[in-house]
């Protein structure tokens, strides 16, 4: 019987290049022009080719679930990993983690690395790679996407209802009497990607309008680190009219805002209230006592692992699970001054 599995020769023919040129693109070698890379990668995506695919088809099960996560700096990502570990710990499957940093619209190195290690299924957290590339990848390897709102045809999704979560934060602050509520949003949306932070921003805007506070809508885009949010908060505080409350897109960012407030001699919540998002471990620490929106990262990790196991065992139909957020009120929010 003739195999229909695509080969490197098929890719070379489709792209109009040599086998050696395809090999250079696959190895990310020097000397590959952008035009050649585009032709080869388009042929790879169209044909569904992947290196070592023949060996993959013949091998025995590795009993491994891959997890690709952004560089391990955020507590929320650690919570997801905890959930994956808990779900896999009592069974035969094990977790293999591949952090990733820079990714493009057409490549995620963490996901590719896990494919080459022949995992049975893959969980990827908050990728910025394009939906078309992600969907093509999921056709070749069972994939579960965590913390991303756009819909592909071939991967499962585990997300938080970020729109509702943002509304909870705004409603809480408005209920305390705040009107000048500024949202610090992490600007991490990639091309064609609907990130959790983009959805939270939309939820903030909708809630402000619904509560009659449209004249006070203010969004500050900044990086996702504590340092970036601290810097953005410093600029905000130096403005002509300070807000009385900050709704920050993550707990990690909220800690940076609180540090900026302390540097300006401002008290939380007596002078400015601060609310975060995630309900990470440090949010409940007495030093911060951060009011935040819980999205239950550990639970999301457990569900993602269960979906991955089902995919590894043969499930083909698409599934999605949405976490219901909850407001966790602590001591970082209070009535506005005056």
Pairwise pLDDT comparison (46 vs 161), residue with the higher score: 161
Whether residue 27 is predicted with pLDDT greater than 70 in this model: the reply is no
Closest CA to 193 of 247, 248, 142, 152: 152
Whether residue 54 is predicted with pLDDT greater than 50 in this model: the reply is no
Pairwise pLDDT comparison (204 vs 104), residue with the higher score: 204
Every domain range in the chain assigned CATH 1.10.260.40: 1-59
Q: Report the distance separating Cα 92 and Cα 295, nearest Å.
A: 28
pTM of the model: 0.81
Which band of pLDDT confidence, cut at 50, 70 and 90, is reported for residue 73? low
What are the pLDDT digits (tens) for 264-307?
999 999 999 999 999 999 999 999 999 999 999 999 999 999 99
One CATH from 1.10.260.40, 2.60.40.420, 3.90.230.10, 1.10.3720.10 for 1-59: 1.10.260.40
**Cβ distance 147 to 159 under 8 Å?**
yes
What are the pLDDT digits (tens) for 120-176?
999 999 888 888 889 999 998 999 999 999 888 999 999 999 999 999 999 999 999
Which band of pLDDT confidence, cut at 50, 70 and 90, is reported for residue 51? low
Name the average pLDDT for the chain. 90
So what's the pLDDT on residue 2?
43
Which band of pLDDT confidence, cut at 50, 70 and 90, is reported for residue 35? confident
So what's the pLDDT on residue 239?
87
Pairwise pLDDT comparison (174 vs 73), residue with the higher score: 174
So what's the pLDDT on residue 157?
97
Residue with tokens 């890719």: 11
Q: Report the distance separating Cα 287 and Cα 307, nearest Å.
A: 37
Q: How many CB atoms lie within 10 A of CB 192?
A: 13
What is the average pLDDT across 37-60?
73
So what's the pLDDT on residue 36?
86
What are the pLDDT digits (tens) for 197-255?
999 999 999 999 999 999 999 999 998 889 999 999 999 999 888 999 999 999 999 99
Q: Report the distance separating Cα 145 and Cα 165, nearest Å.
A: 20
Closest CA to 231 of 240, 222, 239: 222
Interhelix angle 226-237/251-263, nearest 10 degrees: 40
Whether residue 59 is predicted with pLDDT greater than 70 in this model: the reply is no
Reading across the β-sheet that carries 156-160, which strands appear in turn? Answer: 94-100, 64-70, 121-125, 143-146, 156-160, 320-323
Q: Report the distance separating Cα 251 and Cα 274, nearest Å.
A: 10
List 273's β-bridge partners, or say none.
Answer: 245
Every domain range in the chain assigned CATH 3.40.50.2300: 62-160+297-323, 162-295
One CATH from 3.30.420.40, 3.40.190.10, 3.40.50.1360, 3.40.50.2300 for 162-295: 3.40.50.2300
Pairwise pLDDT comparison (32 vs 49), residue with the higher score: 49
Question: Please, what sign has the CA dihedral across residues 57, 59, 61, 62?
Answer: negative
**Cβ distance 43 to 14 under 8 Å?**
yes
**Cβ distance 247 to 170 under 8 Å?**
yes
Q: How far is CA 46 from the centre of its chain?
A: 26
Q: Domain 62-160+297-323 is in which class?
A: alpha beta
């Amino acid at each position: 019987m003739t195999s229909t599995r695509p080969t490197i020769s098929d890719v070379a023919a489709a792209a109009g290049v040599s086998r050696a040129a395809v090999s250079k693109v696959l190895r990310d070698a020097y000397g590959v022009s952008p035009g050649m890379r585009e032709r080869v990668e388009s042929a790879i995506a169209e044909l569904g080719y992947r290196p070592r695919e023949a060996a993959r088809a013949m091998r025995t099960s590795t009993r491994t679930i891959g997890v690709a996560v952004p560089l391990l700096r955020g507590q929320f990502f650690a919570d997801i990993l905890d959930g994956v570990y808990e779900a896999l710990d009592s069974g035969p499957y094990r977790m293999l983690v591949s952090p990733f940093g820079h990714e493009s619209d057409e490549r995620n190195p963490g996901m590719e690395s896990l494919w080459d290690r022949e995992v049975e299924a893959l969980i990827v957290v908050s990728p910025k790679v394009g939906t078309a590339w992600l969907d093509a990848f999921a056709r070749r390897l069972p994939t579960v996407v965590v913390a991303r709102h756009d819909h592909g045809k071939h991967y499962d999704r585990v997300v938080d209802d970020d729109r509702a979560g943002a509304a909870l934060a705004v409603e809480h602050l408005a209920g305390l009497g705040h009107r000048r509520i500024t949202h610090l949003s992490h600007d991490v949306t990639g091309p064609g990607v609907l990130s959790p932070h983009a959805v939270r921003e939309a939820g903030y805007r909708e809630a402000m309008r619904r509560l009659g506070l449209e004249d006070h809508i203010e969004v500050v885009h900044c990086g996702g680190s504590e340092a970036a949010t601290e810097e953005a908060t410093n600029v905000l505080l130096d403005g002509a009219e300070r807000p009385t409350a900050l709704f920050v897109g993550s707990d990690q960012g909220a800690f940076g805002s609180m540090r900026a407030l302390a540097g300006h001699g401002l008290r939380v919540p007596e002078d400015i209230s601060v609310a975060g998002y995630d309900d990470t471990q440090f949010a409940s620490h007495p030093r911060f006592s951060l009011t935040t929106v819980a999205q239950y990262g550990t639970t999301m990790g457990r569900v993602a692992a269960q979906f991955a196991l089902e995919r590894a065992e043969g499930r083909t139909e698409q599934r999605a699970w949405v976490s219901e957020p909850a407001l966790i009120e602590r001591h970082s929010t209070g009535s506005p001054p005056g």
